Structure 1
Amino acid sequence: MSLSRQNPNLALENPAPESQPPDTESPLKYGERRILEGKLITFPNPRVGRPYTIHITLPEFTCKCPFSGYPDFATIDLTYIPHERVVELKALKLYINSYRDRYISHEEAVNQILDDVVAACDPLEATIKGDFAPRGNVHTVIEAKHCKGDPTP
Structure 2
Amino acid sequence: MPNTDVSGLSMLGSSAEIATKPEDAVLERVPAGHQGTDYVVRFTAPEFTSLCPMTGQPDFAHIVIDYIPNEWLVESKSLKLFFFSFRNHGAFHEDCSIYIAKRLIELLDPKWLRIGAYWYPRGGIPIDVFWQTGKPPEGVWLPDQGVATYRGRG
The verdict on a shared fold, with TM-score over 0.5 as the criterion, is yes
Bigger proportion of residues as strand = 1
**Which structure is higher in helix share?**
1
Please tell me whether Structure 1 or Structure 2 has the larger radius of gyration of its CA atoms.
1
CA–CA distance in structure 1, aligned partners of residues 90 and 69 of structure 2: 30
User: 2: CA distance between counterparts of 1:144 and 1:105?
Assistant: 15
Report runs of 4+ in structure 1 exceeding 3 Å deviation. Answer: none
Question: How far apart are the structure 1 equivalents of 2:131 and 2:89?
Answer: 20
Query: 1:136 offset after TM fit, Å?
Result: 2.2
For the aligned residue pairs, the C-alpha RMSD in angstroms reads: 1.7
- Number of aligned positions between the proteins: 119
In the TM superposition, residue 65 of structure 1 has moved relative to its aligned partner by: 0.9
Quote how far apart the aligned CAs of 1:147 are: 3.8
Percent pairwise identity: 34
The equivalent residue for 2:50 is 63
- Residue number in structure 1 paired with 2:89: 102
Task: Give 1:135's aligned amino acid.
Answer: R
Aligned: 1:34 with 2:21: no
Output the TM-score relative to the length of structure 1. 0.73
Unaligned residue ranges in structure 1 (runs of 5+): 1-12, 15-29, 149-153
SS in 2 for 1:63: strand
The separation in 1 between residues aligned to 2:134 and 2:104, in whole angstroms, is 12
The offset of 1:39, in angstroms, is 1.3
TM-score by length of 2: 0.72
